[in-house]
Amino acid sequence: MTSKTQCSQLLMDRLKTFSVKHFKKLVLVFALISFGFNGYAQPDGEKLFKANCSSCHKATDQKLVGPGLKGARGRWGNDDAKLVKWVQNSQAYLKTGDSYANNLFKEYNGSVMPNQTVSADEVKAILDYVDSYVPPVVVTNTPVAETSGEPAETNWTYIWIGLGLFFVILIIILAPVRRNLANSAQAKQGKVYNPDASFWSETKAWIYSHKKPVMLLGFLVFLMLFVVGWNALSGIGVYEGYQPEQPIKFSHKIHAGENKIDCQYCHTGVEKSKHANIPSANVCMNCHKYIQEGPVTGKGEIAKIYAALDYNPEKGTYGPNPKPIKWIRIHNLPDLAYFNHSQHVKVGGVECKQCHGPIETMDVVQQFSPLTMGWCINCHRETEVKVDSTNLYYTDLKSKFNAVHPGEKFTVEQIGGLECGKCHY
Amino acid sequence: MSKELKYWRGVEELENTPEFTKLKENEFAEQLPMDEFLGDSALAEGKTPRRDFLKFLGFGVTAATLAACETPVTKTIPYLFKPEEVTVGIANYYASTYYDGHEYCSVLVKTREGRPIKVIGNEMSPVTLGGANARVQASILNLYDAERLKGASKNGAPVSWATADKEIGDKLAAIAGRKGKIAILSSTIISPSTTRAIEEFTTKYGNVEVVQYDSVSYAGIRTANALSFGKEVIPTYHFDKAETIVGIGADFLASWLSPIEFASQYAKGKRIAAGANHKETKLSRHFQFEAAMSLTGSNADLRTMVKPSDLGVVAINLYNEIAKAKGKAALTGRSLGKVDANIAKAAKELIASAGKSLVVAGSNNPDVQVVANAINDMLGNYGNTIDLSVANETKKGNDKAVANLIAQMNAGAVEAVLLYNVNPVYTLPNAKDFSAGLKKVGLRVSFAANIDESAAECEYVCPDNNFLESWNDFNPRTGEFSLGQPTIAPIYNTRQAQESFLVWAGNPTPYADYIKATWQAKTFPGSGFGSFTDFWNKALHDGVYSIGGGLAVETAPAETVAPAKVDEHGEHATPHGRPQAEAAAAPVVAAAIAADPAALSTAAANLNKIKGGAFELVVYEKAGLGNGSLANNPWLQEMPDPISKVTWDNYITMSLSDMDQFKFNTINGQEQLSNVAEVVVNGVSIKLPVYAQPGQAKGTIGIALGYGRTKAGKTANNIGANAFPAVSINKDNGHFEYNAFDVKVTATDETYNLAGTQTHHTMMGRAIVKEATVDAYKNDAKAGNAPILLALSDGTKDTPGNVNLWEDHPRLNHKWGMSIDLNTCIGCSACVIGCQTENNVAVVGKDEIRRGRDMHWIRIDRYYTSDMTEKKAEEEGVGAIKKFLDMEVPSESPRVVFQPVMCQHCNHAPCETVCPVLATTHSNEGLNQMTYNRCIGTKYCGNNCPYKVRRFNWFKYADNPQQFDFHMGDTLGKMVLNPDVIVRGRGVMEKCSMCVQRIQEGKLTAKKENRRPIDGEIKTACQQVCPTNAITFGDLNDESHTVTKHIKEPRMYHLLEEVGIQPSVFYLTKVRNVSESEL
């Protein structure tokens, strides 16, 4: 439900040719501006273009639903009056028998341009904007590390390593000097000077004379290695933070974060099935039939969807050679574990981000949770079952539970959430 | 015996050298090759080698561990265009129909992500009543048979369809041009559209003859009905309406005519409803006269062993008994000795329940059928339990037409033969004549799915799609239609046979459209639907469509609530949505025509002529393999025969006393080899091992059909021997005769190892299956179910339920339980395959079965009664040893009981307490859980299980085609696996989980819909496919569930209750409709 409203909202915003609501907003904006300046203001061509035209036309000469507006003035013989009439009521204008307009109508297979309630001045402002429009330079090949990592941290590590190396070299250089100095000092005091004594034999002698601190140090080093080793071993097979590069640089940050598309708009199975579903490419096309260019990667990545579907964005037709998109799976549970999304999301009311983290901020999705059995069990131990009075599955159960275990928390564990056979079969 | 023998530990012990005596004291008596092991001088002296060894060990272990931990990158590939009806992870069910010319069943096909994984019965079908037997369920595996043809073939080499069409089309045209004869040899065609397509083909090529041929013929019934009533039909039978049933050699629960339907009907007469007053119990009474122990005979209340040559006389004598009472003229019969007493008894009861009784004969000899018709007519059964106005269309084979075709082929009068859905070279008794004739035919085309015995002798093979890849329509009985729809696109480059006919007839219409056109013209008018699309969608959704006629049929099972079927759009279908359902309840049609008396006396005269020899042979069908068309199916091959419990083979069944005369080994076991005998029948020699079958009439043997395939595929080839050559053609009436009256049996020196899953056949006086007679039950509802009492330390006695070693745990949420009604379980083994399909149970092969390593999660124990009982031993003063030895031997003519046994989910489970790693634990819903990923394979649990229901994975059964070359060994075969259940690896224990995946799914659905699970919503796989509804599953904490009613029944008992382990599964005692004197 939410997904649908989200969807329609999005489409409204981006695709609908004209909406009264927007017009009202627009009027309000103008009214405010006029009050503010208390005088006449030039219509803002860019705003008007984005509000009224951009869902079907581009400011360049590329086709979208309709032709690109760049050079439209020239094509219409530099007669703004004709264009204003056309924009305000294209069907009526067609009847005037204008050959260019009629040809255009035929070229676009008789698809009607909706009537726009814009004034002649506004049309002019839009055309002025289009004439002055320069497409932004598209940044391609945005490296992942630059956007997500923090470069300062990396630099500090190198500095530390460099410093460390420097000191080690210093010690190596200075050690013989120190030894010679010490020897000569001892010789002066008349002690036996053993010029053959190696560094190693001296160290050994030193260790013998400082047994306790060395043992303590040794123990500490062992402990440290043990802990490090233990952690390393227990991390085997845990892919927290796994962030593979996907065949299409799909950004959840743009879709879920900036455009606020509901998770379920694409991941439709999450309330119905064990799988949340990776959306099929036809879901992408709901929007990307119209949005052919993105703000970060431009056309390149969106074109990969078209390539997969063998879709021709110019003609709007699907070809006979679609190729499936081979995404890299991030969240891998072993076959022996059964997990069901709908149980957690629909019944348990768990938020997506509880396990998947701040997806809406991730350009490249990474595995947020460890997905270990301990992690599952911990949550089952702590989470209280959400007993909604309308869910008859749980209401009686809760009262029965309270009668047997008064004062205890009604957690997932209590209804068998830790049992082996709930997930392993 | 063993005491007298001495086994030496080696030559040394035999010679008893001094060295040996010294060494004997050591742990290892032999000299251990220590020097050899330490021979490396470096090893013996050195310090470094040991250190190196440790270094390498350490490095190796770490490297191996880390290497093993490296997870490969997993790709995930979503749909490009997701079909609207598919939700990944959720199954879709499509109604379809299985019909292979032998068995008809309306089915639902479960698909996951577009791949069919399970076939179950369609409860909306008034023909098959929601049942699906083992064969129908297992048929899905033949879809994923990697040995199917990948495309059209010519003389064994692949050929493109275009070339094949061109060549066949040209040849057909040439034949038609010279008015040559084209013959289509087909199994029974019940498809209106197929008939139409063949008609188009006939129109184009002129001289086309369609010969319908059933591998197991029922032409005798049709002929008999033509003789008796002038109607050449097979009527519909209503076992549910019959109070007295007499079967004369008819195995109607396993193979005869329409076993799925009959099993369901039969169970209605045997069911005692939960909560019913036991004093008013009314059960049907079933007499069976037969030679070999059939599934039907094993369920009979009174079974009488009769030689096949006497079966006709049984019918005559039965007729005479009834005629005597009705004052009609008797036929010529003869005395059958002891058998006559039971015939008289049957006659008396038939008369008492006249109009509510049914006599069926299994013979394909029209003479026997004519007498049976006359009996039913005298009893007024026509119009009540037999409906001649509604014909069973599924068996229309014409034996004489087949013989005629073979003669014409041999005479060179046939120029083209098209084999559709038949394998005559394997199934014809006179296959040699057929093969000889086939060689004289110019154009030979087969539509077989693989190059089978017949297709190998054809020039062209144009492989037909599997039924799960096909569109089809069927008219299995008058007024009933069903549709078959594809649930997967053709896996290989195969083409539906009907489309081939249409292409050759010059009609390029896709067959789906062709069927639609047929239905628009034939069934749509008068359907009451506004538009054809609505009508079509409804029919396709339901899978079945009735236009009415015949006796009213109850579709819903008597006791359980019919579950809502979810259709492909996720909507709940209404079970009574058929607009014609009410119209179908047409008035009972009375039989207007009386049986022809002239035909009757001729028949009786013919039957009296039949004389038996020293040995007589019954050729029968097994519940698993049937006629052998699905033989290349590892599930069916491994399914234990319901009676003998032997897998992977056919054999000669013989009575114990006959075997003793031959000095054959009568015990079947891992180490006991069966003797091989040679049977000569019709001049054909068949060599098979001999199996001791209690209940086999003396002087008779039985051999099952369906085995001895040579070109079916790797699973089926060269298993057992083909019994079709033992079928004869009756010289008088031209029908196939499945009994041979004089065969020669000779012993050979050979032995053979049969693999059976049950080698002990009696209950040894223990109350494992509890049973009572109906009279005893009427008097006392707890008859046969006396409580077991345990002696306590304080001198008192108490029931096991009250004696606890462990604390009880509260079951606050659910308490799952299962009841098994032994009164309605007929032992058909449909549940075995249902479970195997659902739970990815591995096929292990004959050798493993022989070692007792079968993997079936549910087994059906079959017990025979013994002549020796505790009571008899006490009365006759028989000593303990002799008593127990005698108790092991089943009676010559035993009573039989079946008991499905799966994990009993004990609440105080002995397996759980012995597991050292807690791999098997108990859930708070009462399930005994098995966690494979924890299991380390100690097998302690299996040893401690009193029911022996735990199964160990001795080998890697999946992905191991070198050793276990079954469906789990190849990529295609694995498509059948249920994605919700894991495939177990080597070294872990497994067992019945009570279909926990279904329980979880059902609970989740209920939670999402804010309610508790309703009765019948969650069904285990075994319960779902049980044709007799003997298994009920549900929540014992919920009063509205049927299982909760069952547990309160006085008939309720737990298996081995005295062990005190409180199982969640319970049984309901068998109440046999016999008097005490008949026991």
CA distance B810 to chain A (A): 9
Among the four given CATH numbers 1.20.1530.20, 1.10.760.10, 3.30.70.360, 3.30.200.20, the one describing domain A17-132: 1.10.760.10
In angstroms, the CA A352 to CA B1047 distance is 44
Q: What is the pLDDT of residues B283-341, one digit of tens each?
A: 999 999 999 999 999 999 999 999 999 999 999 999 999 988 888 888 888 888 888 89
Establish if B932 belongs to a structural domain: yes
| Element holding B269 (H helix, E strand) | helix B259-270
pLDDT, greater one: A83 or B43: A83
What DSSP string runs through A123-190?
Answer: HHHHHHHHHH--PPPP-----HHHHHS-HHHHHHHHHHHHHHHHHHHHHHHHHHHHHHHHHHHHHHTT
The pair phi, psi for residue A248, each rounded to 5°, is -120, 130
In this structure, the answer to whether residues B649 and B791 fall within a common structural domain is no
Pair B746, B775 in one domain: no
**Are B379 and B266 found together in one domain?**
yes
Residue numbers of the domain that contains B1070: 771-1078
Q: Do A419 and B812 touch (CB under 8 A)?
A: no
Q: Around B236, how many Cα atoms within 13 Å sit in the side-chain half-sphere?
A: 28
Per-residue pLDDT for A8 more than 60? no
pLDDT of residue B142: 92
Averaged pLDDT for residues A374-393: 89
Q: What is the CATH number of the domain that holds B875?
A: 3.30.70.20
Which region among B548-562, B823-837, B976-990 has the lowest average model confidence (pLDDT)? B548-562
Task: With respect to residue B404, please indicate whether it lies within any of the assigned structural domains.
Answer: no
Question: Are residues B566 and B666 part of one domain?
Answer: no
As to burial, measured by CB atoms within 10 angstroms (0-12 exposed, 13-18 middle, 19+ buried), residue B1068 is buried
Q: How far apart are CA B937 and CA B953, in angstroms?
A: 9
What is the pLDDT, as a whole number, of residue B594?
59
Q: Does A386 touch chain B if contact means CB atoms closer than 8 Å?
A: no
The answer to whether residues B477 and B567 belong to one domain is yes
Least confidently predicted of A280-294, A349-363, B51-65: B51-65
Alpha carbon of B251: minimum distance to chain A alpha carbons (Å): 39
Residues B362 and B293 in one domain: yes
Helices A281-288 and A2-14 pack at an angle, to 10 degrees, of: 40
pLDDT confidence bin for B524, thresholds 50/70/90: confident
| In the block, residue with structure tokens 């001198």 | B795
Flag whether pLDDT at B897 surpasses 50: yes
Two structure tokens written together for B297: 């005979």
Nearest residue to B927 (alpha-carbon basis) of B944, B912, B943, B905: B905
What is the arithmetic mean of pLDDT over A170-192? 80
Q: Which B residues 967-986 touch A at CB under 8 Å? A: 980-982
Q: Which two tokens stand for residue B700?
A: 């008779």
Count of A-B CB contacts under 8 Å? 150
Distances in Å between the Cα of B254 and the Cα atoms of B133, B264, B302, B827 are 9, 12, 18, 10
- Would you place residue B235 in the very low, low, confident or very high pLDDT band (cuts 50, 70, 90)? very high
| Whether A422 and B1000 lie within 8 Å, measured CB to CB | yes
Interchain contact B1005–A (C-beta under 8 A) = no
Indicate whether B1044 belongs to any domain: yes
Residue B1051 belongs to a domain: yes
B574 and B642 co-located in one domain = no
Lowest mean pLDDT among B446-455, B748-757, B803-812, B927-936: B803-812
Instruction: Give Cα separations from B571 to A176, A405, B541, B564 (angstroms).
Output: 88, 40, 11, 9
Query: Does B175 reside within a domain?
Result: no
What local confidence, expressed as pLDDT, does residue A12 receive?
44
Residue B27: its pLDDT value, please? 53
DSSP A49: I
Domain limits, CATH 1.10.760.10, in chain A: 17-132
- Answer yes or no: is pLDDT of A356 > 90: yes
Are B87 and A268 an interchain contact pair (Cβ–Cβ within 8 Å)?
A: yes
* Chain B residues touching A400 at Cβ < 8 A: 812
B247, β-bridge pairs: B288, B360
Amino acid B1073: pLDDT: 92
Is A327 close to B934, i.e. CB distance below 8 A? Answer: no
What would the pLDDT profile of B66-113 be if each residue is shown by its tens digit? 666 556 788 899 999 888 888 889 999 999 999 998 899 999 999 998
CATH number at residue B367: 3.40.228.10
Q: Are residues B385 and B472 in the same domain?
A: no
B72 in A contact zone (CB under 8 Å)? no
Q: Is A424 on the interface with B (CB under 8 A)?
A: yes
Q: For residue A351, with 0-12 CB atoms within 10 Å meaning exposed, 13-18 middle and 19 or more buried, which class applies? A: exposed
Are B693 and B293 a contacting pair, CB within 8 Å? yes
* DSSP state letter for B973: G
**Is B925 within 8 Å of A416 when comparing Cβ atoms?**
yes
d(CA B290, CA B893): 11
Q: How far is A230 from chain B (nearest CA, A)?
A: 13
**CB-based contact B618:B738 (threshold 8 Å):** yes
Q: Quickly count helices (H) and strands (E) in chain B.
A: 35, 44
Nearest by CB to B812, which of A277, A400, A422? A400
The last residue of one of the domains, among B585, B601, B635, is B585
The mean pLDDT value of chain B amounts to 87
Residues B777 and B751 in one domain: no
CA B32 to CA B265: how far, in whole Å? Answer: 70
Q: What is the pLDDT of residue B592?
A: 44
Q: Are residues B126 and B268 in the same domain?
A: no
Left, alpha or beta for B53 (phi > 0: left; psi -120 to 50: alpha)?
Answer: alpha
Residue B28 binned pLDDT confidence (cut-offs 50, 70, 90): low
- Cβ–Cβ contact A373 with B under 8 A: no
**Residue range B507-523: average pLDDT?**
90
Weakest mean pLDDT among A123-137, B567-581, B646-660: B567-581
Predicted TM-score (pTM) of the model is: 0.81
CB distance from B802 to chain A under 8 Å?
Answer: no
pLDDT in tens, B846-857: 999 999 999 999
Say which CATH number the domain at B651 has: 2.40.40.20
Is residue B431 one of the residues assigned to a domain?
no
The domain boundary, picked from B756, B779, B809, lies at: B756
Q: Is B591 part of a structural domain of the chain?
A: no
Which residue, among B65, B79, B1064, would best test binding to A if mutated, counting the most A CBs under 10 Å from its CB? B79
Give how many domains chain B has, as a whole number. Answer: 5
pLDDT, tens digit, 9 for 90 and up, residues B9-23:
566 666 666 665 666
pLDDT attached to residue A100: 83
Task: Enumerate residues 6+ apart whose C-beta is below 8 A from A233.
Answer: none
- Phi-psi region for residue B382, left (φ > 0), alpha (ψ -120 to 50) or beta? beta
Give per-residue pLDDT as tens, B142-194.
999 989 999 999 998 999 999 999 999 999 999 988 888 899 999 999 999 99
Residue B585: the pLDDT is 37
Cβ of B87 within 8 Å of Cβ of A309? The answer is no
**Pick the residue with more confidence: B65 or B300?**
B300
A281 and B77: CB-CB below 8 Å? no
Contact assignment for B76 to A309 by CB distance below 8 Å: no
Report if residue B160 sits inside a domain: no
Whether residues B717 and B569 share a domain: the answer is: no
B808 and chain A in contact, CB less than 8 A: no
CB–CB of B812 and A335 under 8 A?
no
- What digits encode the pLDDT tens for the residues B862-884? 999 998 888 888 888 888 898 89
Q: Tell which wins on pLDDT, B830 or B574.
A: B830
Q: Is B732 found in the same domain as B666? A: yes
B3 to chain A, any CB pair closer than 8 A? The answer is no
Residues paired with residue B444 on neighbouring β-strands, in sequence order? B417
Which residues from chain B sit within 8 angstroms of residue A235, using beta carbons? Answer: none
pLDDT reported for residue A41? 57
**CATH assignment of the domain containing B115:** 3.30.200.210
B78 to A281: CB separation less than 8 angstroms, yes or no: yes
Nearest-by-Cβ selection for A273 from B88, B997, B1000: B88
Decide if A319 touches B, using CB distance below 8 A: no
pLDDT at A150 over 80: no
Other C-beta atoms lying within 10 Å of the C-beta of residue B338: 9
The tokens 């399930």 sit on which residue? B927
Quote the minimal CA–CA distance from B975 to chain A in Å: 16
